Amino acid sequence: MCADLSRTPRTLLVCERSSFLDEKNRISSQVEQLRFNYKVSVLLPECSSSSSQLDSMLNRFSSFYLIKKLPIYELLDKDFLQSAVYQGSVYGLSFRTRIDEDNCVALMPNGRLVLSLDKDTFEMLGFEGRPSRFNNKTCSRFVVPVDLTESSMAPGGWGYLRLLKVLGSHLNLQMDFLISHHPGGRATLQPLLSRYVWSEHRPEFSHRSLSNLVCPDLQSCDPLSLLEWLGAVDADVSCDNLSSSFLSTLICPEPKTTLSQALSVSVCGLLLPQDVQQLVEQLRCYLQQTQKESWASVTVHGFTDSPVSWGDHEHGVLTRGENFYNLLMFQDHTYRLHLATGAHDACPL
């Protein structure tokens, strides 16, 4: 057991302190780098209910679509490429596929298509790829990145015809697929949706009012303890560590104080980075309107089974699959940013 524990893969946590007023701050670029988000959690201290401005912002989160049994070759359809992919801001992800066992697909807003395939499917595809970074002893998984904006991948190009033929004739690669696009762009998904069974979904929201919440001192609390405490609050796990409790031994880090009330808000779905960015700006406005010194916490979780995590980097699960960031904002425009990845993932910076 000791030998196994010594080989436990590390988790990477990157921390940054800066100010929104600093022209060189990287908040916008970092938010854009985590493209496939399934949950956003907000914690507001000394707040008993959601404001109309916050509710309005949450209701403006983009809708997304679930297409049932989509053949992957349809992502190469000429009309879809012209009306959606080439316009940018299209996000697509295979749904309920496991990155360590199944074939997974991601379509990114920069026009890149990423296929994460098992060995048999990769060999049948016969397209250029690379071994996954997350293979263990045997090379059983491969990644095929395709830039749909390259000239060879334009409809009629040699690469396009080759990939379309293999996906359309030799492989029966189909899966449920989540897809969305930012409404501010020129993309439209109708050429794709019109040919398959689909359903439109709105992000799901929940609010929870908290009372007498024990809170650590945010300025002195170390990042790991802070993230653990935020996770416990979001999961509604007590940090009282009572002797009668066999469910949790979590305790709130010292020094600590007690908040008379707090508001916990969560949003779930296929959540676009642009909507997260607007939420951050709305919370900054909220902090400026509060009478006393305050703060706001935003935690954004990426899909565990997404083929990519930060930017175009490959994402893997192996043991945990961490894929999230936390933004802690203060009233004086300063912030603390925590970026977390799992074992062997690329550094998010």
Three-state SS for 123-179 is HHHCCCCEECCCCCCCCCEEEEEEECCCHHHCCCCHHHHHHHHHHHHHCCCEEEEEE
Q: Where are the beta strands (DSSP E) in the chain?
A: 12-19, 37-45, 64-71, 90-94, 104-107, 112-118, 130-131, 141-147, 174-181, 198-201, 204-216, 256-271, 295-302, 323-330, 334-341
Provide the mean pLDDT of the chain: 88
Instruction: Say yes or no to pLDDT of 244 above 80.
Output: no
pLDDT band at 119 (very low <50, low <70, confident <90, very high): very high
DSSP 8-state assignment for residue 62: P
307-344: per-residue pLDDT in tens? 998 888 888 766 666 789 999 999 999 999 999 887 66
Cβ atoms of 91 and 36 closer than 8 Å? yes
pLDDT band at 10 (very low <50, low <70, confident <90, very high): low
Query: How is the chain split into domains, by residue range?
Result: 2-61+204-341, 64-201
> Residue 231: what pLDDT?
92
pTM of the model: 0.91
The residue behind tokens 């796990």 is: 237
In the chain, the amino acid numbered 16 is E
**Nearest by Cα to 284 from 234, 227, 329, 339:** 329
**Nearest by Cα to 25 from 342, 345, 335, 339:** 335
pLDDT band at 17 (very low <50, low <70, confident <90, very high): very high
Among the residue ranges 21-35, 198-212, 242-256, the one predicted with the least confidence is 242-256
> Residue 168: what pLDDT?
87
Tell me the C-alpha distance between 113 and 144, whole Å.
8
